[in-house]
Amino acid sequence: MCGIVGYIGKDDIKNRLLDGLAELEYRGYDSAGIAILQESDLSIYKATGKLENLREKAKEYSSGDTFGIGIGHTRWATHGKPTEANAHPHFAEFSYVVHNGIIENYSEIKKELTKKGCSFLSQTDTEVIVHLFEENLKEHKNTLVAFEKTISSLKGAYAILLITKNSPETIYFAKNGSPLIYGKGENGIYFASSDAPLIGSASEVVYLEDGEYGYATNSEEKFFLDFKELNPEFKKLHVNKTFAQKDGFRYFMEKEIYEQHQILLETMMGRVLEHDIVFEEFDAGILVGVESIKICACGTSYHSALAGSYLLERIAKIRTHVEIASEFRYKEPILKESELFVVISQSGETADTLEALKIAKASGLKTLAICNVDNSSIVRLADFTILTRAGIEKGVASTKAFATQIMVLWMLSLFFAKFKGHLQKSDIKKELHKMIESAASTKVDEKLHERLKKLSKRFLHGHGFFFIGRDIFFPLALEGALKLKEISYLHAEGYPAGEMKHGPIALADSELFTIALMPKNLLFEKIKSNVEEIAARDATIAAISPICIDSADDMIYIQNSDSYMVEFFEMMVVLQLFALEVSIRLGNDVDMPRNLAKSVTVE
Ligand code: F6R
């Protein structure tokens, strides 16, 4: 995730851009940059790391009150390391671009442009945009036509702002897949990746839709879709700062739950192709000599590891063993070099996980990190990394990071299965559809959310919760219980449904709440019997299923799909929202629950 801003006007352009970027720093802070064009004079500043480094670098520059245009970017590295050369704005001879998203066909474009003599300074996918624009301009002479030609050659997701000395008062913009907002205020025209930078400056805004593009100057604005001019709908912007950062949600956790469907697409982008699955981070050679996989992680990441073990064994047919990192590190583990050692971490800084990784490295194992934060300690240490691309997660209770970890593990299982010959191209196509369906199924249905809000009031007391599931739904049950514990402070346990009869069922009475995960597509009859056993002991049962369960006191319906992974992702959202609503009713601080921290860098 990156953030972009743009400004047209004469009101201290540099600070307008820098202040806008400050509001977007939550989207990434690997590097930042700005480019300002005033009366054909171009000034560009870039710095790695946090925005304060850019502020320092650009401190001598004053935009004064001369009219000008400017664009800015804050980066969450995806293609290319977080160096200054890879920082945006990227430029060609006389044009500059900032971009949020991923250009999937950038290597093909780059090859073509290189043949024509273009040379590239960065390793990013973005740089091709600006070179392609200038090539198109040579041919078409008209900046708008050149811009249209450029964006129509791009595949993937983008929000783009482009400026050129050829038309020094204009910002060209385009949106497809990544967010872009156009705003107008007393002091100028603004662009940003979210509302936050626009609050207090723009009074009315257009939330651009996919495929829309256009240009703006101080006196003219044009919007297009499919080469036809549009009259977009401007909306008033009245929100306050706090509201904006949370994009109107009550808590960051809520916002993060709601953005999962979009984030999951970003996780898949460029990796899941129609007939193939690729990781630019490594090739299938990673598996040479590997007989089994060991995964180490903590907390929520441990739950995704457990879920991943079901996928890796079932799909890739590789023996997979999961351990809690804090247990692993002191057990004097016997490690084999034929084991691929995987660590999973949102922050990349969890001390126990990092230590487990060090042990594995010292024993000569190949190591792979599945992580959300590039350049973190874990990423720097591991031999290979897959970034989960969840963007910054602010809520202490992890939601979207979990979703992306599961998606990565699913993709990895397919990637390994392909290498081992267990998967044909046609199977990949089917899986791709399931993945897209899974991502879509995490889009929060407002009616379902309302239902969970109402239902939550019945679950504020009692002597505890059991979240039960079987197979891959068991780790999901663990995660549902953890979410509830963390933010509601109620006692909850995740349990394999088939194990209840071996002890815990003794707790069953009407004050014991059981949340049963009952997918239609995996062991439905088995879990149905387990739920009936508990219901017979008078426990209060809420079932999550597409099928009506007679023995349940409450039903939470999910859609009827043909894939247990779609059911998995949809249930995940139900559990997250359930914990959120119980916590809100109990009056707790959802985003900063007591005793917890986002990154656990101590043992
Ligand atoms: C729970 C949660 C924690 C983390 C755990 C590991 O919502 O966020 O359980 O999952 O502290 O953290 P990472 O994934 O950063 O290693």
Alpha carbon distance 38, 25 (integer Å)? 26
Q: Whose CA is nearest to atom 9 of ligand 1?
A: 299
Q: Which DSSP string corresponds to 249-303? A: -SSHHHHHHHTHHHHHHHHHTTTB-SS-B--TT--GGGGTT--EEEEEE-HHHHH
Alpha carbon distance 495, 469 (integer Å)? 7
The answer, yes or no, to whether any atom of ligand 1 lies below 6 A from the CB of 399, is no
Q: What is the pLDDT of residue 280?
A: 85
pTM strictly above 0.85 = no
CA of 597 to the centre of ligand 1 (A): 9
CA of 299 to the centre of ligand 1 (A): 5
Nearest ligand 1 atom, CA 401? 14
Active-site position among 358, 453, 526, 598 = 598
The answer, yes or no, to whether any atom of ligand 1 lies below 6 A from the CB of 347, is yes
Ligand 1 pocket test: pick from 322, 327, 344, 347 the residue with the most ligand atoms within 8 Å of its Cβ.
347
* One-letter amino acid of 88: H
User: If you classify domain 446-585 with CATH, what class do you get?
Assistant: alpha beta
The answer, yes or no, to whether any atom of ligand 1 lies below 6 A from the CB of 345, is yes
The answer, yes or no, to whether any atom of ligand 1 lies below 6 A from the CB of 367, is no
Over residues 234-267, the pLDDT tens digits come to 988 866 665 557 888 999 999 999 999 999 999 9
Distances (CA, A) of 67 to 20, 48, 172, 217: 18, 28, 17, 11
The answer, yes or no, to whether any atom of ligand 1 lies below 6 A from the CB of 369, is no
Whether 598 shows a pLDDT value over 90: the answer reads: no
CA of 467 to the centre of ligand 1 (A): 19
Domain boundaries, the chain: 3-245, 252-439, 446-585
Among candidates 261, 509, 571, which has minimal Cα distance to 579?
A: 571
22-49 CB burial, b ≥16 within 10 A, e <16: bbbbbbbbbbbbbbbbbeeebbebbbbe
Alpha carbon distance 44, 35 (integer Å)? 4
In terms of pLDDT, which residue wins out, 171 or 65?
171
CA of 589 to the centre of ligand 1 (A): 18
Nearest ligand 1 atom, CA 598? 8
Over residues 440-495, the pLDDT tens digits come to 999 999 999 999 999 999 888 877 999 999 999 999 999 999 999 999 999 999 99
Residue 32 confidence class, pLDDT cut points 50, 70, 90? very high
Calculate mean pLDDT across residues 591-599. 74
Tell whether the torsion through CA atoms of 200, 48, 367 and 425 is positive or negative. positive
The chain-wide mean pLDDT, for the chain, equals: 92
Over residues 170-182, the pLDDT tens digits come to 999 999 978 899 9
User: If you classify domain 252-439 with CATH, what class do you get?
Assistant: alpha beta
2 as an active site residue: the answer is: yes
Q: Which DSSP string corresponds to 379-412? A: HHHSSEEEE-------SSS-SHHHHHHHHHHHHH
DSSP bridge partners of 5: 72, 192
CATH fold match for the domains 252-439 and 446-585: yes
| Contact of 389 with 78, CB cutoff 8 Å | yes
Alpha carbon distance 309, 303 (integer Å)? 10
Q: What is the pLDDT of residue 25?
A: 78
The alpha carbon of 406 is separated from its chain's Cα centroid by a whole number of angstroms, namely 12
Among candidates 110, 133, 112, which has minimal Cα distance to 121?
A: 110
Tell me the two tokens of residue 268. Answer: 């898949």
Cα three-residue angle 216-234-100, rounded to 5 degrees? 55
Over residues 402-454, the pLDDT tens digits come to 999 999 999 999 999 999 999 888 888 899 899 999 999 999 999 999 999 99
The answer, yes or no, to whether any atom of ligand 1 lies below 6 A from the CB of 547, is no
The answer, yes or no, to whether any atom of ligand 1 lies below 6 A from the CB of 346, is yes
Tell whether the torsion through CA atoms of 298, 304, 307 and 313 is positive or negative. negative
Alpha carbon distance 55, 570 (integer Å)? 43
199-216 CB burial, b ≥16 within 10 A, e <16: bebbeebbbbeeebbbbb
Q: What is the pLDDT of residue 374?
A: 73
**φ and ψ at 79, to 5 degrees?**
-110, 110
Nearest ligand 1 atom, CA 350? 16
Q: Whose CA is nearest to atom 16 of ligand 1?
A: 345
| Architecture category of domain 3-245 in CATH | 4-Layer Sandwich (3.60)
Ligand 1 pocket test: pick from 298, 352, 399, 592 the residue with the most ligand atoms within 8 Å of its Cβ.
298
